[in-house]
Amino acid sequence: MSESQPVRGEFELIERYFTRPVPAGSTHVRLGVGDDCALLAGVPGEEWAVSTDMLVEGVHFLSDVDPESLGHKSLAVNLSDLAACGATPRCYFLAIALPRIDEAWLAAFVSGQSLLADSHHCLLAGGDTTRSASGVTITVTVMGTVPQGQALLRSGARPGDEVWVSGTLGAAALGLAFRRGDVRLSGPDADRMIARLERPLPRVALGERLRGIATSAIDVSDGLVGDLGHILVRSGVGAVIEWPKVPIDDALRSQQEPVQRRLALTGGDDYELLFTAPPERRQDVLAAGAATDLTCIGTVLPTGGLVVVDGQGRRVDTGAAFDHFRR
């Protein structure tokens, strides 16, 4: 079928936009798109790490979002889950529901997704397409591998561990607030914050380097407070976070402090890595993050849940993390 001819149905759509050959020498994907099932191969000494995320128009992304950025983000949020487990990406599966075939939109979406996939040597191995009754829904399942017994989990934090985070927090939430007209930003700041919202960079290399160093890890998708809370529950510990140490972008620092705290602590969509490590491994942590800004923001406690304090040690009201079903 010529590229100049319009797509006439589901299978031509798959053939044109989603069928790519399996690279020669692939050790994990033997057969990709085109059959009823993909064929995957295990490698001795490795475990599979698998994660699924769904993006729904109007809930996870705005209707006017750039489709190339949406393609990027739809895979990035899953790669971030692999990063939180210290896993190396291998392949992914895409299920997408579309209200209609818009080839310009599809071409941009596939370009954004493929560029990120190729940068991590992550192959599209299968999926599904269908027609939706309303907006776009995207479901991606990503698969990676990690050396047996070395996966980073939420359950390993120990009292005395330091709490670390990569990058800065609250930028994506600030970008969303700007898109909604809730805050004002200068042109360069607005562009940077929207990029953080729509084109997050999964910390895959950092996650791989933290294997054997970090005692627990999670990616910051629903906000620092909520995601650290998951670690504390699974590990049976508490933690204190020092608000002045939480890294935030200068664009967020220009906002009033209550806005800073709300967006940095509960805003979500940052897709940075949040992890714990023993203080005696601090130099190893810094070496692992040599290419990434890392900040120690608190300490794991034996009990007591999560407490955030200001520069005078007074407790700070954090608000609640994002929850799809919270009223």
14 with 88, same domain? yes
Whether pTM > 0.85 for this model: the answer is yes
Residue 152 inside a domain? The answer is no
Q: State whether 124 and 42 are in the same domain.
A: yes
Question: CATH code at 110?
Answer: 3.30.1330.10
Q: Which helix (H) or strand (E) holds 30?
A: strand 29-31
| 325 within a domain of the structure (yes/no) | no
Q: Are residues 189 and 271 in the same domain?
A: yes
| Least confident interval from 90-104, 193-207, 264-278, 297-311 | 90-104
Residues 227 and 301 placed together within one structural domain of the fold: yes
Strands 46-56 and 273-277: unpaired
What's the whole-number mean pLDDT along residues 58-75?
91
Q: Count structural domains, the chain.
A: 2
Query: 17 pLDDT band (50/70/90 cuts)?
Result: low
Residue 101: pLDDT over 90: no
Asked whether residue 272 is domain-assigned, the answer is: yes
102 vs 17, more confident: 102
Asked whether residue 41 falls in the same domain as residue 89, the answer is yes
**What is the residue type of 128?**
D
Task: Look at residue 321 in the predicted model and tell me its pLDDT.
Answer: 55
* Residue span of the structural domain in which 295 resides: 162-309
Considering the domain boundaries, does residue 200 fall inside one?
yes
In terms of domains, do 201 and 109 share one? no
Give the per-residue pLDDT at 6: 67
